[in-house]
Every structure is written in structure tokens, then in C-alpha cells.
Structure 1
Amino acid sequence: MSYVEDVVAGVEQDTKRAVAVYYAIRDGILYDPYSADISVAGLKATTVLEERRGWCVSKAILLAACCRALGIPARLGYADVLNHLSTEKMRQRMKTNVFYWHGYTALYLDDRWVKATPAFNIELCEKFGLKPLEFNGRDDSIYHAFDQAGNRHMEYLHDRGQFLEPPIEAMRRTFDECYPGWPDTSDATEADFGGEVADETATR
């Protein structure tokens, strides 16, 4: 996997390698919830690399795949979260601000499991006024409860556990039940999440 080799070139220790891969994915793969594709092909790490964009689930899968390629044990974690920051178009499409099956990665480093969430790239955080999620390989990296202005950002509602592979069928059932207007593969070619964010935050 040449992508991983390039990212960790010259880095020897596992924790430092995991941190390097985390930041490469956090900022090098743009966060785009319209790219959500709950299928085997859509959730492949190679698909995310090719498209250079992804949502929390697919970016977490890419991080897990890269770390496993380096010999670092990795799991896929999921939780339902209440997201207070989104775009108007996204809220209309989802009909809720609850994000079911939010994805993160659990990595086994220095004899313990730690959580890493490479979802939001730094440019998106700056536009939304969020503190970027840092990862040092020792402490859990999960969404902040508040943004930098003190407004509510993210609330964790329900822990769905950790898996070795994405539970695609369970995710599809939940999406079918909770997001009636959201197909398995969104029309990502027409939607522009980055543009929506730029428009809605321009006057902040």
C-alpha cells in the first residue's frame, strides 16, 4: 500500500506512525457527508483514496486499513451522535440532526485501545469555528461537546460498539428507517457540502 508507505516514510515507532496516518487522512481526505455510500464498494479504503473525500465512516475505515497494513491492530467503532452544526440542505435531507452510526477508529497502541476520529478536515473546522480533533496516540480523540464560541457541537447518544468489519446490513437498516429521504448512495456529484459550508459561514 504505497499511500501508507509514503505517509510514514522515515517514521519508525508504531504510535508515531499511527499519528502520521491520522493527520494525513484527517486533512488529506476531505469530509463530505454526501459521499455516503453504504455498500461494499463504497466503503472500501481504496475507494476513499481514489476519490480523496469521504464521510466519518469511510475515513475511519481508511485509517483502520492503513494501520492494519502497518501491523497495528484496529477496530471500527460506531456511535449515534447529535450534531448541532450542519448545513441547511443537509438538515432538510436528513430530517434530523442525529447522525446514526457515526464512525471512528479504535487503535491498539502501547498496550491499550485508543479512539481516533479523522472525520473533519482542518479547513472545515476553521469555517465552522470548531477546534480540530488532535490525536497523540495516547488519548481518545472524539468530538468536542462545544465549538470554539461555546455553542453546542456534538453529543454522544448511543454507543453501538466496535467491529472488525463495517456492519453494512445493520447500517442500511437504520438508514432506511431513520433517513427516509436518503438513498444508499447520495447524488454526491450534484451536492457540494464544502460550498454549502462556505455560503452559510461567510457572514460569521
Structure 2
Amino acid sequence: MEQYLRPTEFFDFEHPLVQSFALETTAGMHDPVAMATALYLRSRDDFRYDPYSFSTHPSTFRASHVMESGASYCIPKAVLLGAAARAVGIPSRLGLADVMNHISEPRFVEKLRSQVFAMHGYIELFLEGKWVKATPAFNAALCHKMQVDVLDFNGREDSIFQPYDASGRHFMQYLKEYGHFADVPHAFIITNLQAAYPHLKDLLESGQWISRD
């Protein structure tokens, strides 16, 4: 379990900003489940979900980068939650999967040329003797805008993307799981993104990403 508790290049909870985030959020708490749920809520809502913020540069995958930028996408937001959990003694590991997004922003889907979001990131936390999944990607304000129920986490059951939106339409499906990782497998992620979106290969190789325009 030690590998899921120590600081790493990406789970950099020794960074002052991540330390403060973890300790201030869990101040006065002793129950790991309560600490995990408090960290989840702040990771979800204090940092805006922004898929256009993606960069291939390794530094942008770090928990500290999310703290500095105030907005990010699924992988770094999951890493922030995982790093903060490790800072208070809760083991964590990153999970990766391909997901189908049925109601994502049309402009973004058009740029991806696919409704499949490759390399979606979530976090697994070891609580009460078992691993539970948490997905802090979509902040509450964005969920309300998309007419999707806000995804909660109770620390005892897996919490991944809602299968339906508020109107009963399919929202998110997990298509392929890649397993779990003690740290961010940066090269693996970039390689799989290049394979999933061959028209973006040159951009990814140059360290760029699709623009908002």
C-alpha cells in the first residue's frame, strides 16, 4: 500500500498549495470517509472543468498545477483529489478509461471527430478496507448547465459518471478500462490519445491541443 501513499512527480502533495488544500479541508476531522468526501466536494467544485485546458506538458498533470490554474479536466482533477487524500493518509491510485459522452458540447465533439473521450481519468481511494472510485471532473455549476444531476460521493460506493442525464437520456458510458496506476503514466496517455485521435497527432506531438475557436 506504500506506493499509494507516497508523493510522486504528479501526486505532489508536498507542494505547499496541495498541502494547504488537504489540511484545511480536513481540519478537525478524524474519519477517513468524512475526509475523503470533503476533499471530493472541493476537488469537484472549486476547480472548473475545462477540456480545452489540456496540454501534453507533464507539469500540467500535477496536482499542484490544478491548484495554480483553478481549472482543469478529468485527469488532473482526479490527481488533485488523490494527492490530497495521500496527504492525510488515505491511499489513492489513478484509474483510466475510454468513455462515450452522448451529450457533450457539439463544438468539442466536432473537434475530436468522436463522441469517445479517450483516457478519461478517475481516482480510487482505499476506504474501510476496499477501493472505491470517485470522479470529481464535472463541477456542480457545469452539471446544472448541462441539465445533469451533480455526481456525489459518499466514500463507500463507486461514484462514476451518471449513465443518464436529468431527462433520462444516455449521458456517459465506460467503454474500456486501462487499469489503475500509482502515478500518472504520462507517455501511455499521450500515445493512446494519438491513436484515438489521429487527426490531432501533429498537435499532440508539438505539445498543443484543440482550441476553443
TM-score, normalised with respect to structure 1:
0.89
Is the 1:8–1:17 Cα contact (8 Å) retained in structure 2? Answer: yes
Q: Is the counterpart of residue 27 in structure 1 residue 32 in structure 2? A: no
The partner residue of 1:12 within 20, 26, 30 is 30
**5+ long unaligned stretches in structure 1:** 193-204
Which one-letter code corresponds to 1:13 in the other structure?
D
Q: Is the counterpart of residue 177 in structure 1 residue 195 in structure 2? A: yes
Cross-structure match for 1:168: 186
CA distance in 2, matches of 1:7, 1:138: 19
Cross-structure match for 2:91: 73
Q: Give 1:175 deviation, angstroms.
A: 1.2
CA distance in 1, matches of 2:105, 2:123: 25
Matches for 1:60-139 after TM superposition, within 5 Å: 60-139=78-157
Which one-letter code corresponds to 2:88 in the other structure?
L
Which one-letter code corresponds to 2:186 in the other structure?
I
CA distance in 2, matches of 1:185, 1:144: 30
Per mean C-alpha deviation after superposition, the further-off stretch among 36-45 and 145-154 is 36-45
TM-score, normalised with respect to structure 2:
0.85
Q: Give 1:187 deviation, angstroms.
A: 6.2
**5+ long unaligned stretches in structure 2:** 1-18
Q: Give 1:146 deviation, angstroms.
A: 0.7
Q: CA RMSD in A?
A: 1.4
Cross-structure match for 2:161: 143
Task: Quickly say closer, same or farther: Cα 1:187–1:144, change in 2 above 3 A.
Answer: closer
Is the 2:99–2:176 Cα contact (8 Å) retained in structure 1? Answer: yes
Is the 1:38–1:171 Cα contact (8 Å) retained in structure 2? Answer: no
Percent identity of the aligned residues? 38
CA distance in 2, matches of 1:145, 1:185: 31
> How many correspondences in the alignment?
190
Is the 2:111–2:210 Cα contact (8 Å) retained in structure 1? Answer: no
CA distance in 2, matches of 1:12, 1:38: 37
Q: Per-residue displacement from partner, 1:96-129 (whole Å, max 9, x unpaired)?
A: 0101111000000011100000000001100111
